[in-house]
C-alpha cells in the first residue's frame, strides 16, 4: 500500500463533509436532527486523518469551552473535547467543531432537550478512556492523533470491547450519539448555542435561510455569486423559540459538576 502511486491529493474529511450534503443539517433543530445518523451520513469517514501521512505527533490541545459545563466534570469535558476535535478538526480549510461551540451546544442539550442522554455521556466517556488505556496504553487525551482516530474507529464499528471497558450496549451507540450532537452543534441554527459566528455554515458554504428564493437568487447560487445570509431562523418574525434547547441561554448557565 505504501508504494502505490496516488493521482492527486487524498480526499480529506472536510471534503467529505462538503460533498455529503451536510448543509441540510443547518436548518434542523436539536430534537429533530437526524442527518448524522442517516445511512448516507454514516458512509462518510468517521474521524479525521492525521495532518500528514505517517505522522505520530500528539494532537494539539483542544480548546476548552468558555466557562464551566453543567453536566460533565473537568476530566469528562477534556475527553469529550478531544473526541469532538477529531470528529471535525480545525485545519487549513477553516475552523472545526470546537471553534463552532459544539461543546457548549452539547452541554446545553444535555440540560434540556437531550437530558435523558447525560448519563450515557458520562458512562461512555469513561468507557472510551478505559478502552484507550487498555488497547493503546494511555488515556485518550494523551494519544497521538492517529491513535485517537483508531480508537474512535473501533468505537464506531462496535469493536471497542474488552475486560472492564464498560460501554453500555455497543460502543457504536455512544459514538453515533456524540457524532450526531457534534454535527448539530457545528452546523445547526446558532439559536441553540453552537455554530458560533456561523462558522459551520461558512465551512460548508451554506447560503443561509431565506423566506423567498427568486430565479435570480438561484442563478447567483449556481454561479457561486450569491451572498450568504447569516441570520438565525428566530430572527424572522414568523418563528418563535419553543421548548427545548432554545429556551435558555447556554452562556448564562453557571456552575458545573466537580
Of 137, 136, 167, 164, nearest in space to 149 by CA? 136
Q: What's the chain's average pLDDT?
A: 73
Above 70 in pLDDT, residue 140? yes
Residue 242's pLDDT band, with cuts at 50, 70 and 90, is low
- Residue 86, pLDDT score: 95
- Residue 83, pLDDT score: 96
| 215 in Cβ contact with 54 (< 8 Å) | no
- Residue 240, pLDDT score: 62
162-175-59-182 Cα dihedral, nearest 10 degrees: -170
Lookup result for grid cell 469517514? 45
Above 50 in pLDDT, residue 20? no
Average pLDDT over residues 26-34: 34
- Residue 136, pLDDT score: 94
Above 90 in pLDDT, residue 172? yes
What is the rounded distance in angstroms from the CA atom of residue 103 to the CA atom of residue 220? 35
List CB contacts of 39: < 8 A, sequence separation 6 or more: none
Helix (H) / strand (E) element for 126: namely helix 118-136
Sign of CA dihedral 245, 248, 252, 253: negative
What is the rounded distance in angstroms from the CA atom of residue 25 to the CA atom of residue 14? 15
Lookup result for grid cell 455497543? 170
- 57-97 per-position pLDDT tens digit: 444 444 555 556 788 999 999 999 999 999 999 888 888 99
- Residue 3, pLDDT score: 41
Residue 208's pLDDT band, with cuts at 50, 70 and 90, is confident
Percent of the chain residues topping a pLDDT of 90: 35
Above 80 in pLDDT, residue 221? no
Above 50 in pLDDT, residue 19? no
Average pLDDT over residues 218-244: 73
What is the rounded distance in angstroms from the CA atom of residue 225 to the CA atom of residue 254? 43
- Residue 139, pLDDT score: 97
What is the pTM assigned to this prediction? 0.67
**Which of 253 and 183 is assigned the larger pLDDT?**
183
Average pLDDT over residues 183-206: 87
| Neighbour-count burial of 255, counting CB atoms closer than 10 A to its CB (0-12 exposed, 13-18 middle, 19+ buried) | exposed
Amino acid at each position: 500500500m505504501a508504494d502505490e502511486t496516488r493521482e492527486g491529493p487524498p480526499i480529506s474529511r472536510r471534503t467529505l463533509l462538503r460533498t455529503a450534503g451536510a448543509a441540510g443539517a443547518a436548518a434542523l433543530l436539536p430534537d429533530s436532527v437526524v442527518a448524522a445518523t442517516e445511512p448516507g451520513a454514516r458512509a462518510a469517514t468517521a474521524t479525521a486523518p492525521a495532518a500528514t501521512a505517517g505522522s505520530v505527533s500528539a494532537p494539539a490541545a483542544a480548546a476548552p469551552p468558555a466557562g464551566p459545563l453543567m453536566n460533565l466534570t473537568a476530566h469528562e469535558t477534556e475527553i469529550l473535547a478531544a473526541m469532538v476535535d477529531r470528529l471535525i478538526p480545525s485545519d487549513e480549510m477553516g475552523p472545526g467543531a470546537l471553534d463552532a461551540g459544539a461543546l457548549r451546544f452539547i452541554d446545553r442539550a444535555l440540560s434540556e432537550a437531550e437530558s435523558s442522554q447525560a448519563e450515557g455521556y458520562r458512562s461512555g466517556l469513561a468507557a472510551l478512556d478505559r478502552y484507550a488505556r487498555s488497547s493503546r496504553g494511555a488515556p485518550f487525551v494523551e494519544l497521538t492523533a492517529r491513535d485517537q482516530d483508531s480508537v474512535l474507529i473501533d468505537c464506531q464499528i462496535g469493536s471497542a470491547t474488552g475486560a472492564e471497558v464498560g460501554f453500555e450496549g455497543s460502543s457504536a451507540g455512544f459514538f453515533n450519539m456524540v457524532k450526531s450532537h457534534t454535527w448539530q452543534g457545528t452546523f445547526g441554527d446558532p439559536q441553540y448555542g453552537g455554530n458560533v459566528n456561523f462558522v459551520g455554515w461558512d465551512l460548508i458554504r451554506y447560503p443561509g435561510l431565506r423566506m423567498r428564493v427568486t430565479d435570480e437568487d438561484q442563478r447567483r447560487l449556481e454561479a457561486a455569486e450569491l451572498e450568504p445570509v447569516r441570520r438565525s431562523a428566530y430572527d424572522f418574525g414568523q418563528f418563535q423559540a419553543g421548548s427545548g434547547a432554545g429556551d435558555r441561554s447556554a452562556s448564562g448557565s453557571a456552575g458545573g459538576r466537580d
